[in-house]
Structure 1
């Protein structure tokens, strides 16, 4: 069956939390309060369904956020404007089935209308060549490395330029066409299809 990517629903947060904390050392653990904070304020928080069950989730933040991740701060100290993939988790039984690529295609479709670059990191401890290969095949390139003091783990810092962004910004400025698929997920806009000012100081 096809993969469906959609906004997370509040009643699914317990399932998201369990999925995150079962993902292993490549994903930092969450508690319920922090996940709720993501739900309340993250710019992008979507889940994937396959065969009617949750197959994974992705949380993304704009560079305007006051996010306490040292990896996020590393990017913001070096790049003025980007969309940051804080975490992507795919259920173990669904890995290798296209869920990750569906997420990245959806996140890029959202981000390239609003940001010039995608940013994320891959932990290097314990051997993570499959994740590095996945990101490399999707157009990400390493721009540095960073040791997370809060987790004592080294990460490869990856970025991908979004080639459509300059054309979209030059053509439409701050107002996108009035199409449902262009609306911001989970973020209210002053008029349908209008790019709302990015919130500040409210992100996790």
Structure 2
């Protein structure tokens, strides 16, 4: 059985993460290893996924920030101006060899558990220009709702700003 293993990022993972990220452009912004190193320091949540059948090989990753982070993303700043507490999913990338295997869902479940223990709210954005119907459907299925839209990158991109409110861990017991 091929298990999904989610763990904190290690410095040794960064070359694989950068390569995965660059393969996913333009769905995510192009970044370098310096950005990823900074994210290790600033992000409240930076996890990678391995599959037990391929130990040590990064199958995907997710980065999330809380409002205290020093991060200049237009979408992060929008949430910072509208919500006092949240975990913002900055990016998620799944390796081509690992897509459609439940890794995205596992990461979203994992960050939701993290958020339920800290803030109770998960936020993210999905492109509506250019339109990403698969991602919009996935987020709706996961319980996210649109709370706004905005144009970014000088008006070349428009995003749907999404929120998922979670019951705090103490309320779930």
Common fold by TM > 0.5:
yes
Structure 2: which 5+ runs fail to align?
none
What SS does the aligned partner of 1:54 have? coil
Q: CA separation in 1, counterparts of 2:36 and 2:80? A: 22
Task: Report the CA distance shift for 1:122/1:106 in structure 2 as closer, same or farther (over 3 A).
Answer: same
Larger RCO: Structure 1 or Structure 2 (Cα < 8 Å, ≥ 6 residues apart)? 1
Asked whether 1:105 is paired with 2:109, we answer yes
Name the structure 1 match of 2:137: 133
Asked whether 1:75 is paired with 2:75, we answer no
Asked whether 1:64 is paired with 2:68, we answer yes
Q: Is the 8 A contact 1:115 1:165 kept in 2?
A: no
Tell me how many residue pairs correspond in the alignment: 169
- Aligned with 1:116 (options 113, 117, 120): 120
What SS does the aligned partner of 2:118 have? coil
Please give the TM-score of this superposition, normalised by the length of structure 1.
0.78
Q: Is the 8 A contact 1:44 1:60 kept in 2?
A: yes
What SS does the aligned partner of 1:30 have? coil
Larger radius of gyration: 1
Please give the TM-score of this superposition, normalised by the length of structure 2.
0.91
Once the two structures are TM-superposed, the CA of residue 165 in structure 1 deviates from its matched residue by: 5.0
Name the structure 1 match of 2:24: 23
Once the two structures are TM-superposed, the CA of residue 163 in structure 1 deviates from its matched residue by: 1.5
Q: CA separation in 1, counterparts of 2:155 and 2:110? A: 29
Q: Is the 8 A contact 1:23 1:92 kept in 2?
A: no
Q: CA separation in 2, counterparts of 1:123 and 1:94? A: 23
Q: Is the 8 A contact 2:42 2:70 kept in 1?
A: no
Q: How does 1:81-100 map to 2 (within 5 A)?
A: 81-100=85-104
More helix by share: 2
Name the structure 1 match of 2:14: 13
Once the two structures are TM-superposed, the CA of residue 152 in structure 1 deviates from its matched residue by: 3.1
What SS does the aligned partner of 1:89 have? strand
